[in-house]
Amino acid sequence: MPEISRFFGIVIRMYFREHGVPHFHAEYGDQRASISIETLSILEGNLPSRVYGLVVEWASLHRGELKENWTRVTRHQATVKIEPLA
């Protein structure tokens, strides 16, 4: 599962051979969540509210790049790194 970004202890990934709603995975410690690219809502899992807020802020800035990476993973192509939240 390719890591596409990392910031403040949060790891953002996308899995190859994904299906369903375009989404990405956020990991923080032992907590994980799948997050919709379109709505930025949590589809599955859980994150602390502060961490979820940072993920939403980052994803809002990089939604186009997330959509491009989604297309790439569904075609089994390598992902492109996305700048972390600064």
**DSSP assignment, residue 1?**
-
pLDDT per residue as tens, the chain (86 positions) = 789 999 999 999 998 777 789 999 999 999 999 999 999 999 999 999 999 999 999 999 999 999 999 999 988 899 999 999 98
pLDDT of residue 69: 95
pLDDT of residue 19: 75
Residues found in the chain? 86
Domain residue ranges in the chain? 3-74
Q: Report the C-alpha gap between 48 and 58 in whole angstroms.
A: 15
Q: Report the C-alpha gap between 37 and 60 in whole angstroms.
A: 9
Burial level of 42, CB count in 10 A (0-12/13-18/19+)?
middle
**CA dihedral sign, ordered 10, 23, 63, 40:** negative
- 3-state class of 10 per DSSP? strand
Statement: the pTM of the whole predicted model exceeds 0.85? yes
